[in-house]
Amino acid sequence: MSERTTLQRKPERAVDDRGAIHAVLDEGLMAHVGLVAGEGGVAHPVVIPMLYARDGDVLYLHGSPASRLLRTAKAGVEVCVTVTLLDALVLARSGLHHSMNYRSVVVMGTATEVTDHETKVAALDRLVEHTIPGRSAQIRPAHDIEVKGTTVLVLPLDQCSMKARAAGPVDDPDDLDEPSWAGLIPVGVAVGEPEPDEGSTGNPVPGHVAFWSRGPGQVNGRAG
Amino acid sequence: MSERTTLQRKPERAVDDRGAIHAVLDEGLMAHVGLVAGEGGVAHPVVIPMLYARDGDVLYLHGSPASRLLRTAKAGVEVCVTVTLLDALVLARSGLHHSMNYRSVVVMGTATEVTDHETKVAALDRLVEHTIPGRSAQIRPAHDIEVKGTTVLVLPLDQCSMKARAAGPVDDPDDLDEPSWAGLIPVGVAVGEPEPDEGSTGNPVPGHVAFWSRGPGQVNGRAG
């Protein structure tokens, strides 16, 4: 926790536990990455969804060297990487006490480019493994030209904070006689039946695909 | 589309259709809101998850008047509101062709405070209805003191852009003989069994709770 990431509001929702922060980052599928844009003009914020992966105490981001965000970040602009997991809708007996149960991690800092080839290869493997555990061993290694043609950024996890809400509705005492139903609607990540492409049609579906799921204690549903 | 929101990368993923943009905003549950912070120091980006709602050609945000983000935004700082829906994991035969199918909308602009009481009440209803359609008619109207104690911001939708990917893996031709399974794992929003709070235990679960779901064609699963 740095001064900048110290929570200003609802400090009771702050979670100062490195393990919990890592767990949120590992469970999330996409991050929203913010930076300050506006070359030669008025500074304005830009927020872009990106894949990411944690490896120990760093986060990796990657993309095409032509990506505006990655070019800007390479130059040393600070980024803010936010990962949010939604756990439940909170239905209260008045509109303004409606809320969400969620876990959210905000990482601030300066991302720098990874140039060492071996580190870059390991980071790209982590990016695949983050999304689909067990996948990187099932595909061919990256060609050198692919590694060279990809920008990988690393961001230390030393300026990060977490907020979480995990509770039922908190109603005004005067509202407890209201007839409205109040409680939680749990939400999570639904997983659909894998859809093979043409070349994989009829092939057995490997375990890392068939049993892919996300989130603690989740029972798979159908999506899409 | 303004110059600022014209897509710089992968223009083939741009969607320039107001109806599609509205549909993404209406399906999303949380936005990631970015702004430029750093009073008296170096400007840095901050990205915070927030509830939101669309009403015609504007977005509403709300929160406590003490919220750092809402105080900053009230003063006229530009915001970037990004809503991302994840539709599928894309598994290719090489690591770098792995991808996500998604729909994402980026709204830029200057949010201003809503001060008119009636507009504010309507905006707060929209915020409840956005998350849980049918809910606002089932709860008591907001008290005036609650409306006064809440900051509501409005952001026009005139600077917005959308990107979407909706396709199978695109592999290098040389990789098509690779033995790895390739295709899609569809993902969506899983919905769990509603959990009543103490006062609602044993009461019938109303339709807007029992049948809540999110996403086109989704069949509910279990979450949490």
pLDDT of amino acid B76: 67
Same domain, A196 and A163: no
Measured distance CA(A155)–CA(A48) in Å, rounded: 16
The order of strands in the sheet holding B112-113 is B53-55, B58-63, B151-156, B112-113
| Interval B193-220: pLDDT, tens | 999 999 999 999 999 999 999 975 444 4
Same domain, A31 and A105: yes
State the CATH number of the domain containing residue B41.
2.30.110.10
pLDDT of amino acid B63: 75
pLDDT of amino acid A7: 52
Measured distance CA(A139)–CA(B94) in Å, rounded: 6
Measured distance CA(B73)–CA(B35) in Å, rounded: 8
A154 lies in a domain?
yes
Identify the CA nearest to A157 among candidates A17, A54, A41, A78.
Answer: A54
Range of the domain at B167: 11-187
| Interval A42-66: pLDDT, tens | 788 999 999 999 999 999 998 766 6
Identify the CA nearest to A206 among candidates A220, A196, A191.
Answer: A196
Measured distance CA(A169)–CA(B199) in Å, rounded: 11
A219 lies in a domain?
yes
pLDDT of amino acid A49: 94
Tokens of B143: 């008290």
Proportion of chain B above pLDDT 90, given as a percent: 73
Rg for chain B (alpha carbons), in Å? Answer: 21
Question: Could you give the residue ranges of the DSSP H alpha helices within B100-192?
Answer: 117-131, 144-148
B29 lies in a domain?
yes
Measured distance CA(A68)–CA(B163) in Å, rounded: 15
Q: Is the pLDDT of residue B65 over 50?
A: yes
Contacting residues for B172 by C-beta, under 8 A, at least 6 apart: B93, B94, B97
Q: Residue A137: exposed, middle, or buried by beta-carbon count in 10 A (0-12, 13-18, 19+)? A: exposed
Please tell me the total count of domains within chain A: 2
Same domain, A96 and A198: no
pLDDT of amino acid B221: 44
B79 lies in a domain?
yes
* Nearest neighbour of A184 by CB, restricted to B91, B195, B206: B195
pLDDT of amino acid A224: 38
Q: Which residue has the tokens 């945000």?
A: B61
Identify the CA nearest to B189 among candidates A100, A43, A175.
Answer: A100
3-state secondary structure of B7: coil
pLDDT of amino acid B4: 57
Same domain, A120 and A84: yes
Same domain, A204 and A120: no
Contact B44 A36 (CB under 8 A): yes
Contact B32 A125 (CB under 8 A): no
Cβ(B199)–Cβ(A192) under 8 Å? no
The predicted model gives B169-177 an average pLDDT of 95
Same domain, A145 and A53: yes
Return the residue of B nearest to A190 by Cα: B190
Cβ(B47)–Cβ(A36) under 8 Å? no
Same domain, A107 and A198: no
B130 lies in a domain?
yes
Contact B84 A49 (CB under 8 A): yes
A180 lies in a domain?
no
Q: What is the dihedral of CA B34, B100, B132, A94, to 10 degrees?
A: -40
Question: Could you give the residue ranges of the DSSP H alpha helices within chain A?
Answer: 18-27, 68-74, 117-131, 144-148, 207-210
pLDDT of amino acid A92: 97
Identify the CA nearest to B45 among candidates A46, A94, A218, A101.
Answer: A46
Same domain, A124 and A201: no
Same domain, A194 and A162: no
pLDDT of amino acid B11: 65
Hey, of B4, B30, B39, B47, which one would you mutate to test binding to chain A, going by the most A CBs within 10 A of its CB? B47
Chain A nearest CA to B59, separation (Å): 16
pLDDT block averages, 10 residues each, chain A of length 224: 53 81 97 84 87 97 74 76 97 96 96 94 97 96 94 94 96 94 96 96 96 68 42
Residues 77-136 of B with CB under 8 A from A: 78-82, 84, 86-89, 91-96, 98, 100, 102, 104, 106, 108, 124-125, 127-128, 131-132, 135-136
Measured distance CA(A66)–CA(A150) in Å, rounded: 9
Q: Which residues of B touch A146 (CB under 8 A)?
A: 94-96
Same domain, A39 and A124: yes
Measured distance CA(B215)–CA(B189) in Å, rounded: 7
* Sign of the C-alpha dihedral computed for residues A214, A215, A220 and A222 taken in this order: negative
| Interval B73-115: pLDDT, tens | 667 678 999 999 999 999 999 999 999 999 999 999 999 999 9
Same domain, A98 and A163: yes
| Interval A63-72: pLDDT, tens | 766 677 677 7
Same domain, A117 and A35: yes
3-state secondary structure of A36: strand
pLDDT of amino acid B67: 73
Mean pLDDT is lowest, of A66-70, B44-48, B110-114, B155-159, for A66-70
**What is the number of residues in chain B?**
224
pLDDT of amino acid A75: 72
- Other CB atoms within a 10 A radius of the CB of residue B212 amount to 20
The CA-atom distances, in angstroms, between B12 and each of B15, B96, B135, B162, B165 are: 8, 19, 39, 11, 9
Cβ(B13)–Cβ(B165) under 8 Å? yes
DSSP structure class, residue A159: S
Measured distance CA(B80)–CA(B35) in Å, rounded: 6
Q: What are φ and ψ of residue A190, in 5° steps?
A: -85, 145
Considering chain B, what is the average pLDDT of its residues?
Answer: 88
pLDDT of amino acid B38: 77
Measured distance CA(B29)–CA(B49) in Å, rounded: 10
* Residue bearing the bigger pLDDT, B24 or A224: B24
Mean pLDDT is lowest, of A77-81, A202-206, B123-127, B139-143, for A77-81
A23 lies in a domain?
yes
A129 lies in a domain?
yes
Measured distance CA(A72)–CA(A39) in Å, rounded: 10
